[in-house]
Every structure is written in structure tokens, then in C-alpha cells.
């Protein structure tokens, strides 16, 4: 089975009409895009009443959809790879909505679960769009400029933050490899996939982190 050509949270160079540098979203400074999409992700969790939350989430969704068209990737790419995460959120809130005395399903619990799932989807889409139009190198370079401006070079925050952000797309690369191996062995997209693959993904990421730390230590970082 071939690996998907589009890995979640991976950089997508402009193709076709959108050659490199021709899209405004690609040309914007990485620091500005990082701050903007982080703001959208945090705004998705802004507390409020049900109606206000839905209006806010709808606005965020429209902004992300418009930006996805501007980037030339389309809204269908925003939620790629989010299935397992949303599945876990769904089951967590479904179990929370179950009432045992008397037995039944709390409609309020289901509504809260649905709204929280929309929040997760909005934050995930914002992160996906950020990494689709920005490379980790661009993010680190922009953070380095900010670090120099604030005279915080000794703290080396740009390196640490860029490494942390860089692990996000790496996780989805690991996850895609594991998922494809799972499907090639006849595995289904169900809860068993989550239970089996999440520990393996965490183990692989811990190994990657240890390898990165060893490489940085060898270079005197």
C-alpha cells in the first residue's frame, strides 16, 4: 500500500497556478502566520453560551475555508488526518453523556460534546493550514529574528519552540506510516486502531526525541 501523498500537517508547495511566492498566504512572514493561526486556535475555545460559541466557531470556519482557497489547497485538506482524534473526542463525550440513574442519554452532554468536537476541529484545521503554507525552517527563522529583537539570544527560545512545533508534523508522519501498515494487514478504522497504534506512535516519537537530543548534545547545543 502506498503512503498517502498528502500527510497531515505537512508543507504543501504551491502547484499549478499558485507557484511558489505567488500566493499571499505563502508570502506572509512565518511569525505573523504563527501568531494569527494560534489566535484562531485559542479563539475556538473562548468560553461563552451555546449560541455565541456556534457563531464564533462558524466565523472561524469561514475564515479558514477562505484562507484554504487562497492558499490553493481547498477546505477538504483542513481536516485531513483528524479522524482518530475526533473519534476519541466523540466517544469520550458520548460516555460522559450517559446517565445511569435513571439510565439514559443527556442531551445537554451531547450538545457540549458536539461543541467541543467543533472546537477541536477548528484548532486542528488552523494548525493544519499553518503547516501547509509554512515550513519549520521559516518558523524558526522568524522566531530567531524576534529573539534577536528582544535580545533573548542566550535563551535560545527559537530553537526550542521550532523543535516543539516541528514534532507536530513528524507525529503525523509516524501516524500515517503506522496507519498504512495497520490497513495493509487488514485492520479497520475503528477504536481498536486507536488503542493499538497510539502507544506505538508515542514510543516512536519518544525515540525521535531522544535521537534529536543526542544529536544536539553532540553539536554542543
pLDDT score of 221 more than 70: no
In this structure, is residue 6 part of a structural domain? no
* Cα separations in angstroms, 68 against 20, 62, 134, 172, 187: 16, 10, 13, 20, 32
In this structure, is residue 35 part of a structural domain? yes
Q: Name the 3-class secondary structure at 188.
A: coil
Domain count, the chain: 1
* Local confidence band at 21 (pLDDT 50, 70, 90 cut-offs): very low
* Cα separations in angstroms, 108 against 57, 112, 199: 19, 6, 32
Top-confidence range, 63-72, 151-160, 192-201: 63-72
The whole-angstrom separation of Cα 157 and Cα 162 is: 8
Q: Which domain holds residue 73?
A: 24-218
- Widest Cα–Cα separation across the chain: 63
The whole-angstrom separation of Cα 201 and Cα 119 is: 24
In this structure, is residue 9 part of a structural domain? no
In this structure, is residue 4 part of a structural domain? no
In this structure, is residue 163 part of a structural domain? yes
23-73 per-position pLDDT tens digit: 788 889 998 999 999 999 999 998 876 788 889 999 999 999 999 988 888
In this structure, is residue 196 part of a structural domain? yes
69-79 per-position pLDDT tens digit: 888 888 888 88
In this structure, is residue 199 part of a structural domain? yes
Beta-strand ranges (E) seen in 83-182 are 98-100, 103-105
In this structure, is residue 102 part of a structural domain? yes
pLDDT score of 178 more than 80: yes
Amino acid at each position: 500500500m502506498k503512503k498517502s501523498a498528502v500527510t497531515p500537517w505537512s508543507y504543501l508547495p504551491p502547484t499549478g497556478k499558485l507557484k511558489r511566492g505567488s500566493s499571499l498566504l505563502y508570502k506572509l512572514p512565518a511569525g505573523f502566520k504563527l501568531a494569527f493561526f494560534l489566535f484562531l486556535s485559542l479563539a475556538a475555545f473562548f468560553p461563552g453560551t451555546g449560541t455565541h460559541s456556534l457563531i464564533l466557531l462558524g466565523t472561524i470556519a469561514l475564515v479558514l475555508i477562505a484562507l484554504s482557497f487562497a492558499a490553493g489547497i481547498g477546505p477538504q485538506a483542513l481536516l485531513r488526518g483528524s479522524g482518530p482524534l475526533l473519534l476519541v473526542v466523540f466517544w469520550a463525550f458520548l460516555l460522559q453523556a450517559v446517565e445511569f440513574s435513571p439510565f439514559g442519554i443527556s442531551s445537554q452532554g451531547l450538545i457540549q460534546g458536539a461543541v467541543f468536537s467543533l472546537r477541536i476541529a477548528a484548532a486542528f484545521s488552523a494548525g493544519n493550514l499553518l503547516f501547509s503554507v509554512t515550513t519549520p525552517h521559516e518558523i524558526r527563522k522568524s522566531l530567531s529574528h524576534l529573539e534577536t529583537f528582544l535580545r533573548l539570544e542566550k535563551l535560545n527560545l527559537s530553537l526550542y519552540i521550532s523543535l516543539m512545533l516541528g514534532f507536530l508534523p513528524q507525529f503525523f508522519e509516524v501516524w500515517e506510516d503506522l496507519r498504512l501498515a495497520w490497513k495493509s494487514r487488514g485492520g479497520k478504522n475503528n477504536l481498536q486502531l486507536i488503542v493499538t497504534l497510539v502507544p506505538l506512535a508515542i514510543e516512536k516519537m519518544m525515540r525521535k526525541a531522544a535521537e534529536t537530543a543526542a544529536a544536539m548534545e553532540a553539536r554542543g547545543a
